[in-house]
């Protein structure tokens, strides 16, 4: 009651700037809201740093911490549903409404049972080739569940939401053991067609980390590394805002389509030079720059320069042509919004290109699991008056053999991609760095294996065979 008395007591009513009273109930509500706000702020301030790692390439001082094979399946939430859905959409996920429902349900339900939803979504993206395989399209199978050989028939989930629930049941079984009564997952045991089979096979509670899934969820010997490679793709790789090619070139946009079969190249004639310019949308710190050459994979000299405004350019380095189908990588150690690749043709080749894929990654607090741990290539020297970005002869360079790091290539490429296979981790030589003086061209660092290139295929990659 406004301005009146009750049982001899006077209720005073504060007046807002709009001149309206809120009453004693309103005061109580405001006090409760303020208490909840202060409590929530205190709790959030003590959450692990990983919870705050930004998606789509944002960085913190010292760099982001990548998803690693040793990470626990049970852990704090990384990423968010919106960013994961945007990633799926960008790379052509099939049944987009079901994909969105699947990812949203994973991010809703996984934290209730302690699973990091980013790991769950990364596993699904790996197993379904970014939600493009027939097993996903025809059956909404989110993670190869029940598929122990290529071509095997699949259980069919009615929706993306049900697929998420079945996936979470199966992964939680591996991480924590049998689902107890009263668990948020208990109502969904029937959505996991391999639940009892996994228990009978002894897989209940055997996977504490991502690496523990190797040889258990799938027979692929580097399964855990592939899963983390896909997770880092979703969580941290910079999103390219725009790509343009110079006159007489085609396929600029194809350098960011997650396909090794397409790319940028020149068309017609015998070009002298050609350029490809990438816009990251804003100035960002670049920890790693990678490119993949496709057939014909021809360019005598590749000059890479950076800019914050697209007008003034600073040379990063000059590189020779690398092998087709093997990632080449450098660590610029600088910030930029624009990166320009300029291919030169002193050998008078009929075609320059093809550059199939380009990727940009933020600085990392530890070595990216998909990258060779190498020193940056020394920038090229220029004589006075040489414009920034012009070809130049490097003063020094690093010659690097392939790294002995285990691959985190998320998926096997189909034969149609015509990419050469990489040596197994156990046969790769130990990385060495040898400084050389005044070589004709700087040497780009060869990456150990092709990485995230989800190419459409009718079935899950043959290297990812389910155990249970």
Query: Does residue 49 register a pLDDT over 60?
Result: no
Boundary residue ending a domain (187, 210, 235): 235
Residue 60 sits in the same domain as residue 194? yes
Task: Label residue 182 by pLDDT band (50, 70, 90).
Answer: very high
How many helices (H) does the chain have, and how many strands (E)? 8, 15
Residue 41 sits in the same domain as residue 87? no
pLDDT of amino acid 27: 54
Residue 65 sits in the same domain as residue 154? yes
- Give tens-digit pLDDT for 235-249: 999 999 999 999 999
How far apart CA 332 and CA 137 sit, in angstroms, is 40
CB 408 within 8 A of CB 434: no
Tell me the backbone φ, ψ of residue 253, rounded to 5 degrees. -65, -25
Query: Does residue 59 register a pLDDT over 70?
Result: no
CB 270 within 8 A of CB 345: yes
Residue 145 sits in the same domain as residue 40? no
Residue 87 sits in the same domain as residue 33? no
Query: Does residue 426 register a pLDDT over 50?
Result: no
Residue 67 sits in the same domain as residue 91? yes
Task: State the Cα angle at 73 between 113 and 117, rounded to 5°.
Answer: 60
- Give tens-digit pLDDT for 307-316: 999 999 999 9
> What's the token pair of residue 165?
């629930």
Residue 132 sits in the same domain as residue 105? yes
Q: Which residues pair with 229 in a beta bridge?
A: none
Q: Is residue 163 situated within a structural domain?
A: yes
Residue 21 sits in the same domain as residue 119? no
Number of residues assigned to the chain:
468
- Give tens-digit pLDDT for 130-156: 999 999 999 999 999 999 888 899 999
- Give tens-digit pLDDT for 388-407: 333 333 322 222 222 222 23
Ranking 48-52, 114-118, 195-199 by mean pLDDT, the lowest is 48-52
Residue 157 sits in the same domain as residue 38? no
Residue 125 sits in the same domain as residue 178? yes
Q: Which pTM was predicted?
A: 0.68
How far apart CA 174 and CA 177 sit, in angstroms, is 6
- Give tens-digit pLDDT for 105-118: 999 999 999 999 99
For 38, the domain range is 5-45
| Residue 196 CB neighbours (<10 A) | 12
Residue 98 sits in the same domain as residue 145? yes
Nearest Cα to 367, choosing from 128, 111, 69? Answer: 69
CB 292 within 8 A of CB 354: no
> What's the token pair of residue 84?
């994961």
Query: Does residue 385 register a pLDDT over 50?
Result: no
Task: Label residue 35 by pLDDT band (50, 70, 90).
Answer: low
pLDDT of amino acid 449: 40
Q: Which residues pair with 115 in a beta bridge?
A: 74
Task: Label residue 32 by pLDDT band (50, 70, 90).
Answer: low
Number of domains in the chain: 2
- Give tens-digit pLDDT for 316-363: 998 887 778 888 888 888 999 999 999 988 888 889 889 999 999 998
CB 461 within 8 A of CB 133: no
Burial class of residue 65 (count of CB atoms within 10 Å of its CB; 0-12, 13-18, 19+): middle
Percent share of the chain, pLDDT over 70: 64
> What's the token pair of residue 215?
């040889």
């Amino acid at each position: 009651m406004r301005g009146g008395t009750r049982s001899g007591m006077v209720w005073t009513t504060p007046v807002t700037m709009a001149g309206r009273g809120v009453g004693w109930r309103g005061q109580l509500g405001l006090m409760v809201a303020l208490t909840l706000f202060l409590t929530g702020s205190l709790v959030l301030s003590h959450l692990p740093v990983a919870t705050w790692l930004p998606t789509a390439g944002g960085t913190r001082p010292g760099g982001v911490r990548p998803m690693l094979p040793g990470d626990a399946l049970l852990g704090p939430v990384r990423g968010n549903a919106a960013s994961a859905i945007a990633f799926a959409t960008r790379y052509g996920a099939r049944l987009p409404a079901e994909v969105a429902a699947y990812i949203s349900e994973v991010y809703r339900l996984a934290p209730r049972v302690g699973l990091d939803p980013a790991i769950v979504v990364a596993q699904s993206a790996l197993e379904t080739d970014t939600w493009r395989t027939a097993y996903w399209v025809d059956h909404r199978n989110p993670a190869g569940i029940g598929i122990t050989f290529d071509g095997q028939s699949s259980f069919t989930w009615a929706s993306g939401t049900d697929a998420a629930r079945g996936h979470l049941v199966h992964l939680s079984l591996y991480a924590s053991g049998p689902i107890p009564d009263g668990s948020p997952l208990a109502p969904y045991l029937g959505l996991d067609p391999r639940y009892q089979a996994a228990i009978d096979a002894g897989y209940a509670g055997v996977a504490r980390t991502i690496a523990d899934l190797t040889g258990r969820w799938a027979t692929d010997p580097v399964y855990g590394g592939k899963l983390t490679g896909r997770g880092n793709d979703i969580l941290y790789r910079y999103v390219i805002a725009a790509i343009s090619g110079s006159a007489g070139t085609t396929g600029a946009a194809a350098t960011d389509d997650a396909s090794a079969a397409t790319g940028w190249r020149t068309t017609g004639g015998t070009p002298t030079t050609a350029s490809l310019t990438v816009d990251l949308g804003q100035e960002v710190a670049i920890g790693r720059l990678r490119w993949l050459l496709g057939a014909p994979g021809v360019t005598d000299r590749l000059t890479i320069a950076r800019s914050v405004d697209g007008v003034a350019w600073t040379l990063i380095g000059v590189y020779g042509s690398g092998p087709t189908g093997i990632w080449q990588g450098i660590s610029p150690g600088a910030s930029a919004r624009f990166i320009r690749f300029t291919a030169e043709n002193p050998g008078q080749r009929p075609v320059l290109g093809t550059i199939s894929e380009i990727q940009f990654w933020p600085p990392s607090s530890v070595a990216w699991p998909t990258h060779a741990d190498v020193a940056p290539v020394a920038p090229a020297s220029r004589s006075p008056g040489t414009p920034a970005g012009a070809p130049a002869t490097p003063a020094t360079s690093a010659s690097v053999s392939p790294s002995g790091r285990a691959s985190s290539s998320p998926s096997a490429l189909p034969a149609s991609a015509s990419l050469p296979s990489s040596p197994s981790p156990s046969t790769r030589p130990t990385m060495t760095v040898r400084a050389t003086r005044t070589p004709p061209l700087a040497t780009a660092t060869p990456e150990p294996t092709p990485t995230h290139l989800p190419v459409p295929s009718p079935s899950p990659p043959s290297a990812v065979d389910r155990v249970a």
